[in-house]
Chain A
């Protein structure tokens, strides 16, 4: 059971480089999410997609773009990486109903020098 798969697991970038984080889920979930985790802060929502073909901004969307490629895949792109984007990024998916839990990937640890 793969669940939610994120690639890569680790990445080091230089300031100004671009990068796409990939996320795929095999649970046929409608909704997908991207979060970032920073020390001393809760998981913060970057972008989410309530269904295939739709995306919406979360709490901290600046500097990021997303693509819901199909029902399975939801990618996060950093166009011009900045040191402030050094973080651990988590992708999650769920059914849309409010009583359904989110299922998380293992995370991508991203360092920007």
Chain B
């Protein structure tokens, strides 16, 4: 079973703070790394899909980097806003399947 670890489990920040969290996964047989944003009472929405070592993706204030050799990805949020409050899930792809971590729950206080 692929062990996917996300840290921290939860994070509370003030509006305007920048923050980052980590996804660690075994680096063997790597296909792709997915990041999803999951707001309470909604369904997960895709943020990024990353496939290449050294890949960097950006969407507005959110960006992500990927290191496939050492098996980790970082997600950064610059100038957090209350609407960024959500659980952020990472999921490495192994063959046809995604293996989800338990997520980092972010709360941004005004």
Contact = CB atoms under 8 A, between A and B. Distances in A.
Contacts of A106: 42-43
A43 B44 contact: yes
Interface residues of A, number: 25
Contact of A42 (B31, B49, B96, B102): B102
Interface in A45-94: 45, 48, 50, 56, 58-59, 90
Interface residues of B, number: 24
A99 B89 contact: no
A92 B44 CA distance: 10
Interface in B40-55: 42-46, 49, 51
A92 to B, nearest CB: 8
A59 B46 contact: no
Contacts of A41: 102
Interface of chain B, main secondary structure? loop
B49 A58 contact: no
Nearest to B9: A40
B101 A42 contact: yes
Interface of chain A, main secondary structure? loop
B47 to A, nearest CB: 8
Contacts of B43: 90, 104-107
Nearest to A49: B96
B100 A50 contact: no
A45 B44 contact: no
B11 interface: no
B31 A98 contact: yes
A103 B96 contact: no
Nearest to A101: B46
A102 B96 contact: no
Nearest to B4: A42
Given A48-B96, A58-B97, A103-B46, 10 more contacts: A41-B102, A42-B102, A43-B89, A50-B96, A99-B32, A100-B49, A101-B36, A102-B44, A102-B98, A106-B43
